[in-house]
Amino acid sequence: MAISTGFTFTCRPHFPFSHSMRRAFISCATAIEAMEEIYSGKEPAEWKRFNSKELGISSSMIGKPTKVVLNGLKSKGFEVYLVGGCVRDLILKRTPKDFDILTTAELKEVRRTFSHCEIVGRRFPICHVHVGDEVVEVSSFQTSGIRPVRDLGLSFEKPIDCDEKDHVRWRNCLRRDFTINGLMFDPYSKLVYDYMGGVDDIRKAKVQTIGPASFSFIEDCARILRAIRIAARLGFRFGRETALSIKNLSSSVLRLDRGRLLMEMNYMLAYGSAEASLRLLWKFGLLDILLPIQATYFVHHGFRRCDKRSNLLLSLFSNLDKLVAPNRPCHSSLWVTILALHKALSDQPRDPLAVAAFSLGVHNGGDLSEALSIAKRISAQHDGSFHELESQDLDLAALKEEVVELATSVQRALTNMTDEYFVSRAMANYPKAPYSDLVFIPLALYLKACKVCQCVRMGKEKVFVPKQGSKIDYELLALGSLQEVRHVFARIVFDTIYPLNTGEDDT
């Protein structure tokens, strides 16, 4: 097995990576002209202030740890705002993944205000305030002010009819990625400041960049993955220019280091919007680069870029989405194991009872006798639409052998997913596909995913502690508790193979 220590990206002559980048840079000239218009101060946007009640925001929607930090800074006489995606989510009546605070206090003043506080980050430092078991991020206007709004050498004259506080807030919003993230909420004056048209785009369910999209994504290619993540989670569409730039610049995400790519993929797959994320990654050509093994599956089965149909891979992640959410994510080992199981079934279709017994064996720590006994009593109809399931008339011995073979195949799939050569060959049969040997799964995550299923292959664990009840402990799931990950994995697999709406009870 070859665990990646880095990655490279090259292109076959027919893959228009450089052509796409050239088009993007050519369009950047137009982008700069547009930026000059935006920043010249001659035609300021129509700034809007909304009463938070008008937008349906109440203080009860703000988490207690965040309130502690807000109140602590406000009591010292500093201005405080909630900023970014949390304001967007509050308007949409969604639970924010986290709350970000922006304050007029300097970071050293924030640190003096709270006993459990640390300044993190060198290039763009922020404060981590520890409130109980939670961490609240606080940034400062003073610190963010040293960051150039856009590195174009343009002058930034104060716009017409703009007081100093508006000007400071406006400049801060210009540094953000998307209009729907460029909102500021003062919870004490009950005002939401919208300088970028974010509220209007929320109402239109649209994701579009602040400023020209091509320049925005060239400036920070991580915004491409954030755009996919946000659109998937919210069910939003992209503005036309934003969508075109994502397609043209999709390959630029390979400038990101492996740790950042893993983080972004985890945000997409572990927080309740995995199915939608996979569909968008496929639609915009990013799956071919980030997960070429899974892209091969889509190509092989004739899955079009805008296909509305489902398949086993999407169904597995759809069932994961039903169990997790932005405020109760899973550990990354869970979705890595799901990818490996699907790869194993795609390579070698299995009897649905064998898949069920496999999931039961994972759940009970490798007790195959119990797993096979339960599987043999299943009378429900499996989902017959999946290519990966082939019913066979297996006796108990043959069924056991099939389960063990599946466990071995899952282990092999995990190994292949971390082998650069194997990944690079995934789409070799499709000459118009990009060449990618990207591996972002680190050794520790690979080993943790292996441990989820190895009990089925190696036999019942001696120190196995069975899961009590069906309730998910989300704190343990996020931490990667083996017992909790196995429990949720088994539920997802079983519910996918034997959905409740296709037959009777499962026993």
Write out the H or E segment, with its range, that includes residue 439. Answer: none
CA-to-CA separations, 15 to 10, 11, 333, 423, in angstroms, rounded: 9, 6, 33, 18
E-only strand ranges, 126-203: 126-131, 134-140, 183-186, 191-194
In angstroms, how far apart are the furthest CA atoms of the chain? 81
- Catalytic-labelled residue, pool 98, 200, 473, 506: 98
Phi–psi pair at 82, nearest 5 degrees: -90, 135
Which H, E and C letters describe 301-352, residue by residue? CCCCCCCCCCCHHHHHHHHHHCCCECCECCCHHHHHHHHHHHHHHHHCCECH
The contacts of residue 19 (CB under 8 Å, 6+ apart) are: none
To the query of whether residue 98 is one of the catalytic residues in this protein, the response is: yes
Contacts 24+ apart (CB under 8 A), 19-27: 20/247, 20/248, 20/249, 20/250, 20/251, 21/248, 21/249, 21/251, 21/252, 23/248, 24/214, 24/217, 24/218, 24/245, 24/248, 24/249, 25/218, 27/212, 27/214, 27/245
Residues found in the chain: 507
Q: What is the DSSP letter of 438?
A: -
* Cα angle for residues 307, 413, 6 (degrees, 5° grid): 90
- Catalytic-labelled residue, pool 89, 100, 194, 367: 100
CA distance 490 to 362: 7
CA-to-CA separations, 188 to 78, 156, 225, 401, 451, in angstroms, rounded: 12, 29, 34, 65, 49
Question: If DSSP codes are grouped into helix, strand and coil, which group holds residue 51?
Answer: strand
To the query of whether residue 506 is one of the catalytic residues in this protein, the response is: no
Ramachandran class of 194: left when φ > 0, alpha when ψ lies in -120 to 50, beta otherwise: beta
Instruction: Name the residue with tokens 């097995």.
Output: 1
Task: Provide the token pair at 507.
Answer: 């026993």
How many CB atoms within 10 Å of residue 21?
15
The contacts of residue 458 (CB under 8 Å, 6+ apart) are: 366
- Catalytic-labelled residue, pool 89, 177, 351, 383: 177
To the query of whether residue 177 is one of the catalytic residues in this protein, the response is: yes
How many CB atoms within 10 Å of residue 125?
14
Phi–psi pair at 194, nearest 5 degrees: -125, 100
Catalytic residues: 98, 100, 177
